[in-house]
Every structure is written in structure tokens, then in C-alpha cells.
Amino acid sequence: MPESRSDTQPPAIPLRRLALLLGGLAMFGPFAIDTIFPAFGAMRTQFGVDRVAIQQTLSAYLVAYALMSVVHGPLSDALGRRRVILTGLAVFTLASVGCALAPDLHTLLAFRVLQGLSAGVGMIVGRAVIRDVLQGDDAQRLMSQVSMIFGIAPAVAPVIGGWILGWSHWPAIFWFLVLFSLLLFAGTWVVLPETHPPQARLQLVPRRLLRDYVAIFANPRFQRLAAAGAFNFAALFLYIASAPVFVVDILRLGESQFGWFFIPMISGMVLGAFASGRAAGRISGTRLSRIGFACCGVAVLANIAYTAMVDQPSIPWAILPMVLNAFGIALVFPILTLAILDMYPRQRGSASSLQAFTGLVLHSLVAGVISPLLSREPLWLAAGAAVFAFLGWAFWRWEISFGGSPACPAEPAALEPTDRL
């Protein structure tokens, strides 16, 4: 089912504005998760439920987010990027209003599902927008800038939620999300033109969509690149998912001291994204990927060595390997993502959706199964992270061994690449 690339040139957009907008669009999904963490206690008290029940507000959101992640991209391939983003923001805004006004837990859960169904549109379709408007090194720079802005979200969202809870009740957090999504809607309406013109769009036919997804997922090169990115990030996500145990039980910090973990980690990710953008055009994608994976390897080995040598891990030494690991991940991720998008010039939305879904499935497994098994023992946790980092590197080396490079090429490849399968 090969298809030719459209010759239509995307509209010129001021890149700083575009980076800020796409960074904000990528942030509103994580904001819907992290801003409500400080309010869990107040919500339990108001609804008269236990900790497990209130945790369902997170589970319902994440399940809906994961399921809908395979739909956002194809919708944007068929209907256009701008329309899908605006519709997703409108649905998210209405869902946030419903959460703020929810009189009971069941109503809140229903609107959290609606939030999850719409929240992934910014990140998934935003990646396709980047590759619509830019190529090669310029695309890597913009992807890195967006990653840098996006990386701030997990660090600042709980702080914002805590501030809001300090002067108001928990529904005010959802009213904040309403305001944030309305600002993004206005920004998208004003700044973002349609980057995927009608003549380049695909028909939204369920049978064809399923066939295309099977073809993308069955492509060995897609599998190698998606697995490299997913496993590499899983090394860090294992610690993120284990944060309550790692921070409170292992590092013996207070429940208000999660910043000792999250702020340095996010700083490493932001610095890595900045370095990736600055290196675009100066250092080849293959070499930059090699540097990034080397940073990850040094980080996980240092983490194992430190954990094995001490009886009681402590800050800052227990945190520093995570900073280096986050730095290396941020160096590699834009290159792998752009390589996947370049494989399918007219199906970038579908490719972005399937890449996101692949990562979500793996990270859900990490959070739900692997983290509970490993998080009680610091050395097991460090060894698990090292295994994930090694798997990410192994899939990347497998891709390199085919004589190619995960670096984004100057021109997109054909829809169904067959040169290295």
C-alpha cells in the first residue's frame, strides 16, 4: 500500500511560537495526572472512600488515555491536525468542568475517563505537526525544544496543585485545568494553521486503518526503533513508578520531599533536550544517539555500584545516576521519534499513535507488575533499570547493524520502507 509524499508545502509558522504551543499541548496530559496528587486526601474525605478507590481516578484516566492513543493520530491523518487538536481540547475542557462539579466518585470517574480520551491529542498529533513543517536537523531542534518544555510538567504540576489546594478546595484544581485548556485552545486557534492539507489526507476507513496499523507494527524497523525508545525510557520510568517507595521507604524522606527526586531528574531531562537541539546539524544523529546511550549505560552501572556498596542510599548520591540517565534519554528520544515519523510521510499521525501506544503498554506493565516486585529492594530496583537500559541499547544496536541510522534523514522515506527489512 505504498503512497507518494505530497508535494504541498506546509505553511510557515514562527518556530518559537510553535515550540511554546506544542510544548503546552504536550503538557496538558501530564498536568491532568500530577496536579491532583496533593488533593487525594481531601477527595477521599469528601467522598468517604479509601485510598484504593481514589486511586481509580488515576487508573481510569490512564486506561482511557492508552486506548485512545491509537486513534488520535489516524484521525489527524484523515481530518487534519488542527481540527483534531481543537476538538480534543474542547472535549478536555468540558471533561474538566465535569470533574470540578462532580458530586460523587462515580461521576468524577466518568469525567476522568473523558479527560483521558482527549488528553493525548496534544502530544501525539503535535509530533506529527513537527514533522509536517520541518525536516532533518530543524525538526530535531524543534522536537528537542518541545521535549524541554514538556519535561517541566511533572515537576511543576504537583507544586501547582499544592498551591491551589492551599487557598481553595480540590475542585479548584480542575478549574485550573479548564483555564489551561482554554488558553491552549485560543493559542491553537490563533497560532496553528493546518499543516496537513486535504490533498495529503487519507480516508478514515476502519478496515484500512487496521491494515495500516498491522503493517506499521509488523515492520521490523518500526519495532526496533519503538522498542529502543520505550525500553530506554522504562529504565527511568521504573523509578518514577516506584517513587512513593523509593523516596519514603528507601531514601527515608518525608511525603513532602518528593522534589528531591523529581526536580533533579526533570532537570537532567530538560538539559538533555536542550543539548539535543543545540547538537542538531553539528553532530550526526548516530553519534548523538551513541552518546545518549553511553550516558544511560554509565548511569545505570553507577547506580548499581553505589546501591551495592551502601546499606542506606541517601541524597544526593542516590539521585545523581537518575539525572545522568534522564539526560541520556532526552538526547536519544527526538532522534528515534523523528526516524519513526520519517518512515511514513503520509501516516505520521498513525505512526506517532502506535509509538505512543507501544510505550504506554510497556510502562503500564512496569508500573503495575515490575515496580511492585522490585521496589522494596534498592539493588533489585537498580538491576531492573539496568536491564531496561540494556534492552533499549540492544534494539538501537540492532537497528545500526542493518547499516542504517536512527537519525532523521533530510528527506522522508517511502510509506512502506523495505530497504532494510
Ramachandran area for residue 13 (φ above 0: left; ψ -120 to 50: alpha; else beta)? beta
pLDDT more than 70, % of the chain = 87
pLDDT at 401 over 60: yes
Report DSSP letters for 342-383, one per residue: HT-TT-HHHHHHHHHHHHHHHHHHIIIIIHHHHTTSHHHHHH
| Under 8 Å between Cβ of 22 and 146 | yes
pLDDT for 101 equals 94
Measuring CA to CA, how many Å separate 137 from each of 27, 127, 223, 247, 336? 24, 15, 23, 39, 13
Q: Please check the confidence at residue 64 and state whether its pLDDT lies above 90.
A: no
CA-closest candidate to residue 357, choices 97, 38, 68: 68
pLDDT at residue 421 is higher than 50:
no
Q: What is the pLDDT of residue 305?
A: 95
- Domains detected in the chain: 12-199 (1.20.1250.20), 205-413 (1.20.1250.20)
pLDDT band at 293 (very low <50, low <70, confident <90, very high): very high
pLDDT class of 320 with cuts at 50, 70, 90: very high
Percentage of the chain lying above the pLDDT 90 cut: 27
Binned at pLDDT 50, 70 and 90, residue 411 comes out as very low
pLDDT single digits (tens) 19-60:
888 888 888 887 887 777 777 778 888 888 876 677 678 778
- The residue type at 254: G
Q: What is the mean pLDDT of residues 222-247?
A: 87
412's CB contacts (< 8 A; 6+ apart) are 5, 131, 135, 342, 343, 345
Please, how many CA atoms are within 13 Å of residue 115, restricted to the half-sphere of its CB?
29
Cα separations (Å) of 184 from 18, 78, 97, 142, 163? 12, 22, 16, 18, 21
Closest CA to 174 of 93, 232, 114, 255: 93
Find the mean pLDDT for residues 130-150: 73
Distance, in Å, from the CA atom of 187 to the CA atom of 49, rounded to the nearest integer, reads 39
CA dihedral 214, 219, 222, 223 (to 10 degrees): 90
pLDDT, mean over the chain: 81
Ramachandran quadrant class, 306 (left: phi over 0; alpha: psi -120 to 50; beta: rest): alpha
Which of 151-173 are b and which e, b meaning 16 or more Cβ less than 10 Å from the residue's Cβ? bbbbbbbbebbeebbeeeebbeb
Q: What is the pLDDT of residue 134?
A: 72
Specify the range with the lowest mean pLDDT, choosing from 3-7, 59-63, 139-143, 289-293: 3-7
The answer to whether residues 223 and 217 touch, using CB atoms and an 8 Å cutoff, is yes
Residue 296 has pLDDT above 90, yes or no: yes
pTM above 0.75, yes or no: no
Give the DSSP per-residue string, 141-179: HHHHHHHHHHHTHHHHHHHHHHHHHHHS-THHHHHHHHH
Distance, in Å, from the CA atom of 337 to the CA atom of 9, rounded to the nearest integer, reads 22
For 258-323, list the strands marked E by DSSP: none
Assigned C-alpha cell, 112:
476522568
User: At residue 37, what is the residue type?
Assistant: F
